[in-house]
Structure 1
């Protein structure tokens, strides 16, 4: 076990994406903090975010009310208006704080932020770093973290068990085959998304929904697990982890074409290619039925080649790996699982229904996104509500956690081959729209796998993720069937 990991902390943060790192940095130096990263510290959905972070940063041409309305419209007005008000009001300061921490957003020749446009936004309000904004934000936050002696970061460290009593939280963690117990008065879950429960996803390898299942077992309320966003333009090439072709490519002029090379979005929605993500994904599926083909393309070849290569260097390089020169060729795309709007239900201070337990980032359900997340609001949500969680903890003050050791379970190795079984059942039950017949058929099967994982297996990352995937699958299918 890493020698830097102590027995007792004030705050345990599970997850090292933007939300977890920002929460740690928002706590003052008087609080001891441990951040757990299941993989390398920069392996997270935040680091995969390409487009940027949305906020009103040009008040001469934009305002909070417009951002509020765009967010509500994209979410089908199923958003929590109070949470959206917090997001758009506190968002600009959060983005500017990132600049102070050293995050390098792109600027114009005058030094002002270069703001781009994405689907569902009525103004150019997306601050970005080329097409790798999330990676730059995570880099900046990790660099800032290195200068905070009160914060420890344990990489390649898996949370295998989380218990709570009157003395605080007790976490069994595993690192390189060695186990230890960490005790903390407060716990912030920042474990990200659930994409790996689907066969095809844009999500990172760590996105197995661990925090949601841990929270549910502690008695936290879980809400909106059927609110899954399918991004309309993932690269239709490569392995099961699909590379995202950012919304900002359409924002900078790319056209969406069907198999006949025709633009079709105006047939379904007056906003065309810049309609919200759920709308575009459903339109693609409808167009596929109309044309009898699943072949779709993004075409940005009308824009200057130097501009395209400079604005989208990572996307350009990835496409070239598949022999696609996006300055000359159409990019093959298709919808893919991308984001969860539901999760661990929290209030405006990121508090769950379990005392001392907080949830921030994609694993949380703040109500900000409604039924469909507006592009580039996710990083903003991570920043705003992680700061609020930290402020709430600071207001509560110190309360030392009691020490209670946990013993790792012994038994058989986890049957990791069941991952593919779970993924297949979820994929056929819910892709853009629900297949209720398949969902009814598959729910008892994933519930049986979840029960099977409870006893007889040795604690490990494989077991933790398998339990999470089965638990998340059951939660999704239950809500699909009750919606």
Structure 2
């Protein structure tokens, strides 16, 4: 089955849906969602969105904080662009009907403070900001007659001129996707394709991400010829709930922002030993501090305590966390929460410019899939949803202009399954998936060494060979697609980590414990790459570029 659209959006999180809602109403749009429309990392974002609204704050303070937390690797252009467009993005959400929490007098929005921020600037909807944003955007998208929502579809690969054997400028023409409900592979052609598939947290054994976060967009973009940058910077959120029945449940950083204390099992605080900002230090520092204490004491978790605050305050500001913990037998108004670090956010990704354009004509990347230069070596809390909104709006504006000049989509060849058979050994995929996530956690986690990274590289190379053979001989399944993508992403992370001969931000390596005097991006270039002029602001003599 084949489909033709003006714009194909792969991914249905806050970035993808914001873009869809900003495209011209005459544009024929398809939104592919791997599960239901709302399911994705955006839905589970708790903290909020960074924006300078308080009179004691300013865009300049927000910019300074972001660059400092990013340990000088942020691109100032990208930071300034994002921050200066923050208020209009927030106002757009408010105009769509999203209700943010107000202060006691109901006169102003309640702003909380999170790690790395010098001021209160995180606007939020209680402790479920992502849910409030994502469900409203989904509701609005469903009302649009020009947007077709295709749930339970997983993209397999992009279709490009080079993939079809054509020479010259490599352009994106569409994508192949598996209809998970009917088990068939369908062809999508489009004037423009947008990768908005989110991050790759499922490459690790422990993650705050939902199951859909398997790095699909990054892997597809890489295979199609896009450069990626800074993949070594994987953010581990310091505080995920430790409980056998609490899969991937995040304890928002706002809880620490409102006075939550990290404690050892005997009740002693410990963050003052690691940073003068204590619990409000950036996430990389807090995660390493917890990891250090767990290894030093041989414990499975530490405690996060907010019980010294009035119960009414906790009910009002953290209703969902309170309810979830209570369901598991933990009353956070009376006792601390057991927490551990877990893989949370992919700071690197497909290189884009300020309009979300990639190295391939007609291909855009937005949200966690993209590397815009905003986050540098460590994302500051609550800048992620902001990036989704700002860059989705910018990409939509560019697409609205460019699509008028883009010819109608070509007729593309169907997926060829004539040479493959059904596999009788699906267990191999499950075993490989488990092996990958375990050695990534053990060897490419919060604290790294060259030896561990080399071991991981050896293992991932073997897995890649096995999966390539499997992929070439058997019919495609959802698990195989995701595993194939995760192996690509794991390899990109390992390559990038081996290339960085320093410790900076989220990349801490015992062999090189100090930070270099010059901040350098790590840019990986796929085979047979053809340069593009749209991303010149990424080019720098100081960058580390690998092929």
TM-score (norm 2): 0.85
| Mean CA deviation greater in 362-371 or 439-448 | 439-448
Q: Which residue of 2 aligns with 1:170?
A: 174
Q: Which residue does the alignment assign to 2:80?
A: 85
Question: Is structure 2 residue 380 aligned with structure 1 residue 374?
Answer: yes
Is residue 2:459 matched to residue 1:451?
no
Shift of 1:290: 4.7
Aligned match for 1:281, one of 270, 273, 287: 287
Secondary structure in 2 aligned to 1:34? strand
Q: Which residue of 2 aligns with 1:411?
A: 421
Count of residues paired in the alignment: 478
Task: State the match for 2:479 in structure 1.
Answer: 462
Q: Confirm or deny: 8 A CA contact 1:443 1:477 kept in the other structure.
A: yes
Counterpart of 1:7 in structure 2 is 3
Equivalent residue number for residue 497 of structure 2: 480
What is residue 365 of structure 1 aligned with on the other side?
A: 371
Are positions 1:252 and 2:248 aligned together?
Answer: no
Report if the CA contact (8 A) 2:171-2:361 is conserved.
no
- Secondary structure of the residue aligned to 1:7 is strand
Shift of 1:70: 0.8
Residue matched to 2:360: 354
Map of 1:33 onto structure 2: 29
Contact residue 168 and residue 183 of structure 1 kept, 8 A = no
Q: 1:436 aligns with which of 440, 450, 472?
A: 450
Secondary structure in 2 matching 1:397? helix
| 2:441 is aligned with 1:427 | yes
Shift of 1:206: 0.3
Q: Secondary structure at the match of 1:433?
A: coil
Aligned to 1:71: 66
- Change in 2 beyond 3 A, CA 1:440/1:240: farther
Structure 1, 165-174 or 110-119: larger mean CA deviation: 165-174
**What is the rounded CA distance, in whole Å, between the counterparts of 2:370 and 2:220 in structure 1?**
12
Q: Distance in 1 between matches of 2:484 and 2:111?
A: 41
Measured in 1, the distance between the counterparts of 2:198 and 2:214 equals 8
| 2-structure distance, mates of 1:123, 1:337 | 26
Task: Give the C-alpha shift of residue 397 in structure 1.
Answer: 2.8
Of stretches 314-323 and 90-99 in structure 1, the one that deviates more from structure 2 is 314-323
Distance in structure 2 (CA, Å) of the matches to 1:449 and 1:247: 36
Query: 2:473 aligns to what SS in structure 1?
Result: coil
Moved more, 207-216 or 438-447: 438-447
Residue by residue, what CA displacement relative to the aligned partner does 1:113-164 show, whole Å, maximum 9, x if unpaired?
2211111111111111111100110011111112221111111111123211
Contact 1:171 1:406 in 2 (8 A): no
Question: Structure 1 stretch 126-135 or stretch 169-178: which is displaced more?
Answer: 169-178
Residue number in structure 2 paired with 1:196: 202
1:232 to 216, 231, 238: 238
Q: Residue 215 of structure 2 corresponds to which residue in structure 1?
A: 209
Task: List runs of 5+ in structure 1 lacking aligned partners.
Answer: none
Structure 1 pair 462/292, CA: closer, same or farther in 2 (3 Å)?
A: closer
- Residues of 2 paired with 1:313 and 1:238: CA distance? 21
How is 1:319-334 mapped onto 2 (pairs within 5 angstroms)?
Answer: 319-334=325-340
- 1:167 Cα deviation after fit: 7.5
Question: What 5-or-longer segments of structure 2 have no aligned partner?
Answer: 162-169, 501-547
Spell out, residue by residue over 1:36-55, the C-alpha distance to the aligned partner (whole angstroms, 9 max, x if none).
00011111001110001111
Query: In the superposition, relative to structure 1, how do residues 408 and 102 fare at CA in structure 2: closer, same or farther (>3 Å)?
Result: farther
- Cα gap change, 1:28 to 1:456, in 2 (>3 Å): same
Partner of 2:167: none
Deviations 1:238-278 (A, max 9, x none): 26843111000011111111222111111221101101100
Q: Tell me which residue corresponds to 2:409.
A: 401
Q: After the TM superposition, which of the residue ranges 388-397 and 35-44 deviates more from structure 2?
A: 388-397
TM-score (norm 1): 0.95
